[in-house]
Chains A and B, each alone.
Chain A
Amino acid sequence: MERKIINLLSFHQSPLDQFIIREFFSIEGDLLSNVKISLTSIGLYLIITTFIIFIICLLATNYNISTPNN
Chain B
Amino acid sequence: MYSIVVNQINMFKGQMFFPLIFALFVYILVNNLVGMIPYSFATTSHLILTFSISFALVIGATILGFQLHTFKFFSLFVPSGCPLALLPLLVLIEFISYLSRPISLGLRLAANILSGHMLLNILSGFTYNIMSKGIFYLFIGLIPLAFIIAFSGLEIGIAFIQAQVFVVLSSSYIKDSLELH
Give me the interface of A with B, judged by CB distance under 8 Å. Answer: 6, 10, 12, 15-16, 18-19, 21, 41-42, 44-46, 48-49, 52-53, 56
Number of interface residues of B (CB under 8 A): 22
* Interchain CA distance A15-B118 in the complex, whole Å: 6
Query: Is the beta-carbon distance between A15 and B40 smaller than 8 angstroms?
Result: no
A6 with B41: in contact, given A48-B34, A49-B31 (CB under 8 Å)?
Answer: no
Interface of B is mostly: helix
- Apart from the given pairs A49-B34, A53-B26, 16 other A-B contacts in the complex at a CB distance below 8 Å: A12-B125, A15-B125, A18-B41, A19-B42, A19-B45, A19-B117, A41-B41, A42-B41, A42-B46, A42-B48, A45-B41, A45-B43, A46-B43, A48-B34, A53-B30, A56-B26
Contact of A12 among B34, B46, B121, B132 (CB under 8 A): B121
| Residues 25 to 69 of chain B near chain A (Cβ within 8 Å) | 26-27, 30-31, 34-35, 40-43, 45-46, 48-49
Cβ distance A20 to chain B, nearest Cβ, rounded Å: 9
Contact of A45 among B26, B34, B117, B122 (CB under 8 A): B34
Query: Is the beta-carbon distance between A42 and B125 smaller than 8 angstroms?
Result: no
Once A and B bind, how many residue pairs between them come within 8 Å at the CB atom? 49
Contact of B30 among A6, A42, A52 (CB under 8 A): A52
Query: Is the beta-carbon distance between A15 and B30 smaller than 8 angstroms?
Result: no
